[in-house]
Chain A
Amino acid sequence: MILDGKAPTGPIEKSWDKHRFDMKLVNPSNKRKFKILVVGTGLAGGAGAASLGELGYNVEAFCYQDSARRAHSIAAQGGINAAKNYPNDGDSIYRLFYDTIKGGDFRAREADVWRLAQVSNNIIDQCVAQGVPFARDYAGYLDNRSFGGAQVSRTFYARGQTGQQLLLGAYSALSRQVKAGTVKLHQRTEMVDLVVVDGVAKGITVRNLITGKIESHWGDAVILATGGYVNVFYLSTNAMGCSVTAAWKAAQKGAYFANPCYTQIHPTCIPQHGDKQSKLTLMSESLRNDGRCWVPKKAADCENLAGDITEDDRDYYLERKYPSFGNLAPRDIASRAAKEQCDDERGVGPGKRGVYLDFADSINRLGEETIRGRYGNLFEMYEKITDENAYQQPMRIYPAPHYSMGGLWVDYNCMSNIPGLFVLGEANFSVHGANRLGASALMQGLADGYFVIPYTIAGYLAGITPGTVKDDHAEFKRSVEEVEGQTNKLLNINGKKTVSELHRELGKVMWEDVGMARSDASLNNAIKRIPEIREEFWNNVNVTGEAGELNQQLENAGRLADFLEFAEVFAKDALHREESCGGHFRTEHQTDDGEAMRDDENFAYAAAWEFKGAGNEPELHKEPLKFENVKLAVRSYK
């Protein structure tokens, strides 16, 4: 099937304004009659729930953490982009739009990206009004810094905790609505099923993580803002509880999953220290403003101390390969370059899977205090984990799974192919194409939550009657029974392997075969291995405890069960996409100097997969991508 993204036609500069005017509205006194369920309380979900509550809708919000403030948006470090052009360095909405399309390797829908760039400026104003303490200069003006893939300084930041501050802003707006009674918050509650009635999303089934009770909630619309899926790699920079579960439950009910193979491997993470590690930690991309990446030129030098390697014997590989962007090359490119050096046996640290990120030059130029002022908390975090002082010796970094550009397919209104099911933020596939630029995730989450969904959901709700299906409908009962059935099944396998052992096995396959470099052979191996692990999971996992209690093993088992179905579709998407673009690198498709080679003639489309059950072939639907405002070009940062 050919999918229609329903992007507005006409001049792109007017597209969002025109669309907002064309959409139907819901009368203020009718808004409270509509119940909207929002799953996830990160930047997209928190901002969306708060804004919709404020408009007068009857909102219920759900999160698995004990507080809405703990969603993983909190961990974003570096910043948020906006086209304010405060530094007078040539930025504009068009330039932010262009950089984002190009950064995504020309695999995103133009109109969505334009809208993102357009509302980016409103986001900064909104956050300032909430009391977000962005960095300022001595006169009191907002400060900016640079991020990868852009030659202007458009990134706003709050020390190394920008995500935290933006999320606390959204959380404060949400708390205000909870107090006002427009939003009801369900904490420690995990979505475990989507309820679809006659093809329309009408509710969710959740598990109360304290009591274990399974219950359903009805809604006139369901919004998923449940983040990304890179924990499919087991080790990633995501929080331990991040999973594909909410999105995958929607996929099991017919929602299409778009471009799962577009995953971001972030170049600057602390290298893995051993087999017992549970997660990886990111070091903000902002560090590349002042840090220089290098490895020894000679493999023989790798064991030597960094300080003993002379300047002539160092290979500043990003500056060498990409002179115009240098250390601020985009993430996919910087990650592959790091891997390339390590594959060439010139990596450093344990297992030689690491490269240096060196601040010595900046410290000499600006002084240690300035560097401490900019990145003090990151250096501190680095020292806690590695026991090394990065003011005195270079950091060691290595790429790690960080973000998913792919996600549930949505149209321009952020609605999936299931009417009434909306998807926001990282959970959808819409704006980042095949690679996300730094400081754009926060921008998208808040754009979707504050400035997109409040408009587009009205266009849907205005066409339906509120409260026609409630939780006494038979579908809700069926959903609860299905979930209880799966829970009992998991608890009664009583096998020999723990959930985390099996998750590690899956992660190993995904990282080695579907990671930074993918080939026909590696992907076929993954497609063979994943069902084997899934089979073993359902026959040999050991999930302790009971259904009706706080049971973290059961939570993890449910999440892994979904990863094990999703991973296969992920690998199949990667196998079908016979080109290299952004975060998807197929070794068969590269230029002579190792750069990604796109195939616009055959693959300029979003691949939206319809799940047909575990073990069955998913069906591919395509949304052709049209580029009318940017010229498709080879993405060069040289």
Chain B
Amino acid sequence: MNLTLHVWRQKGPEAKGELETYQAKNVSEDQSFLEMLDDVNEDLIKAGKDPIAFDHDCREGICGMCSQVINGKPHGGQERTTVCQLHMRSFNDGDEIFIEPWRAKAFPIHKDLIVDRNALEVIMQAGGFTSCHTGGVADGNALLIPKPVADYAMDAAECIGCGACVASCPNSSAMLFTSAKVAQLAVLPQGKGEAKARVKNMTETMLSEGFGNCTNHYECQEACPKGINVKFIATLNREYIKSFC
């Protein structure tokens, strides 16, 4: 199939960006979206032009590096799918595709489709851990964690930290990201001890890093490639209130 791409090009953080148009020719439906972009880049290089810069690494949907808004939807809008797992069979010959970077105040653009997501790191450093030291911990079976609790923690822990929740949110909130870690650790006996300090520190850091608050649009859940549920935001809110008690 042949496609027309409109891609956001921006030299650097201060430069003015714009959409440029490219043709993607002879695209195979078995190719991934990024493989299609690889081919476009090969053509650009051969034409002596600067290839499109985009983040990617594992290309199997788990590292959280890839980050593109495709036709207005983070990761392209398919259920539980990262850009790297999006395949060209979901497009049709002659389609026009708009490709933009994550857009949020807290995610300044480095170049083209590559953004700076360090603000998410700062949130994690504010409390996304249990304060256990290496060695000198109890046996893994010393504290029993019934399956439903372990499953709940795992549902939250599946977050890959890509930032699609932020990109999809009208408030550029990182609530889904923050709540996933808060909820995972709040429900486990190993994390309960620090739950109050954690939820306070992480939530306040989220706001001070330039992310907005949650006003229940649930776009984040829709965009999340790992299907993280908004119920964790409710857990965060409960934990946050509890932290003042």
Contacts and interface: CB of A to CB of B under 8 A. Distances in A.
A385 B129 contact: no
A66 B147 CA distance: 34
A454 B144 contact: no
Contacts of A139: 144, 146
A122 B140 CA distance: 9
A141 interface: yes
Contacts of A210: 110
Nearest to A86: B141
A69 B129 CA distance: 13
A273 B134 CA distance: 44
B125 A276 contact: no
A545 B118 CA distance: 25
B96 to A, nearest CB: 22
B134 A131 contact: no
Contacts of A159: 154, 158
Contacts of B117: 66-67
B81 A66 contact: no
27 contacts: A66-B55, A124-B140, A125-B137, A126-B132, A126-B135, A127-B140, A128-B140, A128-B190, A129-B190, A133-B154, A133-B157, A133-B184, A136-B145, A137-B147, A164-B62, A165-B157, A173-B129, A175-B121, A175-B124, A187-B121, A276-B35, A278-B35, A279-B60, A281-B60, A450-B134, A544-B49, A550-B111
B130 to A, nearest CB: 5
A134 B134 CA distance: 18
Contact of A387 (B89, B121, B131): B89
A240 B129 contact: no
A159 B141 CA distance: 18
Interface in B61-76: 61-65
Interface stretch (B37-45, B206-214, B236-244): B37-45
B108 to A, nearest CB: 11
Nearest to A176: B129
A550 B52 CA distance: 11
B138 A545 contact: no
A380 interface: yes
A172 interface: yes
A276 B120 contact: no
B39 A276 contact: yes
B101 interface: no
Interface stretch (A30-38, A70-78, A411-419): A70-78
A127 B157 CA distance: 13
Given A128-B190, A274-B30, 20 more contacts: A47-B134, A66-B117, A66-B118, A124-B140, A131-B153, A131-B190, A133-B157, A134-B150, A136-B150, A175-B125, A176-B129, A178-B125, A241-B57, A273-B30, A274-B28, A276-B35, A278-B38, A498-B45, A498-B46, A553-B51
A54 B129 CA distance: 14
A135 interface: yes
Given A384-B81, A387-B87, A552-B53, A51 B134 contact: yes
A173 B129 CA distance: 6
Given A161-B62, A176-B131, A500-B42, A550 B30 contact: no
Contact of A552 (B51, B80, B184): B51
Closest 10 CB pairs of A and B: A140-B144, A172-B129, A129-B137, A133-B153, A129-B132, A133-B154, A128-B140, A136-B150, A179-B125, A51-B134
B92 interface: no
A158 interface: yes
A75 B63 contact: yes
A54 B65 contact: no
Q: Which of A173, A210, A274, A544 has the most C-beta atoms of chain B within 10 angstroms of its own C-beta? A: A544
A240 B45 contact: no
A450 B61 CA distance: 27
Nearest to A122: B135
A277 interface: yes
B140 A69 contact: no
B142 to A, nearest CB: 8
B75 to A, nearest CB: 12
Contacts of B49: 544
Contacts of B85: 381, 384-385
A384 B61 CA distance: 10
A451 B42 contact: no
A426 to B, nearest CB: 15
A188 to B, nearest CB: 8
Interface in A161-216: 161, 164-165, 168, 171-173, 175-176, 178-179, 185, 187, 210
Contact of B130 (A66, A129, A187): A129
A404 to B, nearest CB: 17
Contacts of A140: 143-147, 149-150
Contact of A69 (B51, B55, B118, B161): B161
A544 B117 CA distance: 26
A65 interface: yes
Contacts of B28: 273-274, 276
Nearest to A168: B157
Q: Which of A74, A131, A134, A165 has the most C-beta atoms of chain B within 10 angstroms of its own C-beta? A: A131
Nearest to B30: A273
A268 B25 CA distance: 32
B245 to A, nearest CB: 23
A604 interface: no
B155 to A, nearest CB: 9
A451 B134 CA distance: 8
Contacts of A545: 50
B135 A500 contact: no
Contacts of A549: 12, 111
B134 A126 contact: yes
Contacts of B61: 381, 384
A549 B112 CA distance: 12
A489 to B, nearest CB: 18
B45 A544 contact: yes
Nearest to B46: A498
Interface in A245-281: 273-274, 276-279, 281
A128 B137 contact: yes
A84 interface: yes
A163 to B, nearest CB: 8
A138 interface: yes
A357 interface: no
Contacts of B35: 276-278
Nearest to B63: A70
Contact of A75 (B55, B60, B118, B146): B60
Contact of B58 (A72, A175, A276): A72
B63 A239 contact: yes
A304 B38 CA distance: 34
A274 B35 CA distance: 11
B28 to A, nearest CB: 6
Nearest to B61: A381
B59 interface: yes
B161 A67 contact: yes
A130 B130 contact: yes
Contacts of A132: 157
Interface in A270-316: 273-274, 276-279, 281-282
A456 interface: no
Contacts of A523: none
Q: Which of B62, B81, B160, B185 has the most C-beta atoms of chain A within 10 angstroms of its own C-beta? A: B62
A30 B62 CA distance: 40
Contacts of A542: 45-46
B99 to A, nearest CB: 16
B32 interface: yes
Contact of B63 (A54, A65, A450, A454): A65
Contacts of B233: none
B151 to A, nearest CB: 8
Contacts of A158: 154, 157
A142 interface: yes
B57 A54 contact: no
